[in-house]
């Protein structure tokens, strides 16, 4: 192989990032549009229909009617179901999702292990084997105290299920508690046939290096992931964590401000221009329903024109009131 020819070639063929947007439309008509890789509804109920590309995320939205989230690629999409796993692929991109009832898999920790082991085995035999971004939604995430908290068990099980698959580095991720059926666990991912680049936040201790006080197994995620063509940043769940500590307990405005400062620090760390824009959708997870109107006002002031989706979700540290994840296109 000729050294030096390789890099430019890879760059020129780098996969254009999927376009993520929020849309008001009929599920069937969006699924019929060419290039629809995945479509997400947000409601506590089960997924209607049997298209493997459609996933009903078990978080209630604060917008009525609730928009859908659409992932679109510039290529034909194929899809399928294999046991508990559903997937779709096109243009070098792969969506895969698994939904488990914890009671059928030996509890929360064992279910997290099964979810990750199943996803890892599936992705590992695909061309799209680089897992760039993962979303985790589980019930009663803050139930139990200290090491017995459900989120801590989730972190243990996740690390077990990941095995050595992420030895070179973790994907970007979100882990949020839903208010639906307690034993319902949903994990879904975006993978590519080319690797991304992990991004950390200089204001925060990397999650996998959190000290022991946050649990037996530090959380397995990167703060963000630059996608292969460097045309988008996939941003992990971001909250008012500074260093490794939660900041501004019980102060919603201060947590929101700190979270936006963390998001800006991530953009800078990724080498992207400052600020969010009208093409870069964000999800806002709000712990208390009563806070939603205030959160919306705050974001309208500070992130004017940015597409935001407000969802009712519990952040994995009980003192945190709000968390934001999403996308930033270059
Ligand atoms: C934090 O900064 C907040 O366990 O996958 C954010 C994103 C958080 C992902 C995860 C947890 C996770 O530690 C919590």
- Summarize pLDDT for 20-34 with one digit per residue, the tens: 999 999 999 999 999
Q: Which pLDDT does position 47 carry in this prediction?
A: 72
C-alpha 32 to ligand 1 mean position (Å): 34
pLDDT at 7 over 80: no
Q: What is the CATH number of the domain that holds 178?
A: 3.30.1330.40
pLDDT at 3 over 50: no
Which residue has the CA at smallest separation from atom 13 of ligand 1? 207
Q: Ligand 1 pocket, 173 CB below 6 A? A: yes
Q: Which pLDDT does position 102 carry in this prediction?
A: 98
In this structure, is the dihedral angle defined by the CA atoms of residues 239, 212, 134 and 127, taken in order, positive or negative?
positive
C-alpha 118 to ligand 1 mean position (Å): 22
Q: What is the DSSP letter of 124?
A: H
Q: Which of 109, 26, 21 is nearest to 69 (CA)?
A: 21
CA angle 124, 224, 304 (to 5 degrees): 135
Which residue has the CA at smallest separation from atom 11 of ligand 1? 175
Active site residue 323: yes
pLDDT digits (tens, 9 = 90+) for 189-207: 999 999 999 999 999 999 9
Cα–Cα dist 235/204, whole Å = 14
Name the pLDDT band for 5 (thresholds 50, 70, 90): very low
Non-local (6+) Cβ contacts of 305 within 8 A are: 277, 278
For the entire predicted model, the pTM comes to 0.96
Q: What percent of the chain has a predicted confidence (pLDDT) above 90?
A: 92
Per the structure, how many domains does the chain have?
Answer: 1
Domain interval for residue 161:
5-329
Cα–Cα dist 211/113, whole Å = 22
Q: Ligand 1 pocket, 313 CB below 6 A? A: no
pLDDT at 1 over 80: no
Q: Ligand 1 pocket, 207 CB below 6 A? A: yes
């Amino acid at each position: 192989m000729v050294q030096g020819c390789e890099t430019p070639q890879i760059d020129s063929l780098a996969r254009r990032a999927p376009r993520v947007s929020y849309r008001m439309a009929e599920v069937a008509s969006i699924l019929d549009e060419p290039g629809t890789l995945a479509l997400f509804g947000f409601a506590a109920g089960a997924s209607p229909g049997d298209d493997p590309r459609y996933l009903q995320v078990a978080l209630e939205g604060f917008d009525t009617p609730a928009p859908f989230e659409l992932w679109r690629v510039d290529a034909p999409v194929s899809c399928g179901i294999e046991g508990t796993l559903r997937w779709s692929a096109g243009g070098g991109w792969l969506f895969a999702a698994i939904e488990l009832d914890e009671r059928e898999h030996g509890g929360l920790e064992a279910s997290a292990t099964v979810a990750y082991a199943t996803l890892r085995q599936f992705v590992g035999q695909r061309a799209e084997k680089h897992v760039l971004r993962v979303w985790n939604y589980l019930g009663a995430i803050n139930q139990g105290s200290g090491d017995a908290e459900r989120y801590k068990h989730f972190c243990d099980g996740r690390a077990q299920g990941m095995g050595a698959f992420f030895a070179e580095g973790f994907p970007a991720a979100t882990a949020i508690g839903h208010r639906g059926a307690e034993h319902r666990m949903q994990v879904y991912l975006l993978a590519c046939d080319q690797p991304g680049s992990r991004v950390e936040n200089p204001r925060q201790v990397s999650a996998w290096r959190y000290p022991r006080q946050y649990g037996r197994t530090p959380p397995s995620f990167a703060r963000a992931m630059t996608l292969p063509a460097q045309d988008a940043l996939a941003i992990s769940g971001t909250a008012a964590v500074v260093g490794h500590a939660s900041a501004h307990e019980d102060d919603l405005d201060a947590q929101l401000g700190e979270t936006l400062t963390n998001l800006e620090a991530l953009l800078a760390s990724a080498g992207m221009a400052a600020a969010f824009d009208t093409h870069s959708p964000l999800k806002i997870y709000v712990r208390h329903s009563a806070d939603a109107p205030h959160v919306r006002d705050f974001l309208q002031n500070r992130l004017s024109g940015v597409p935001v989706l407000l969802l009712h979700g519990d952040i994995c540290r009980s003192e945190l009131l709000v968390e934001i994840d999403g996308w930033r296109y270059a």
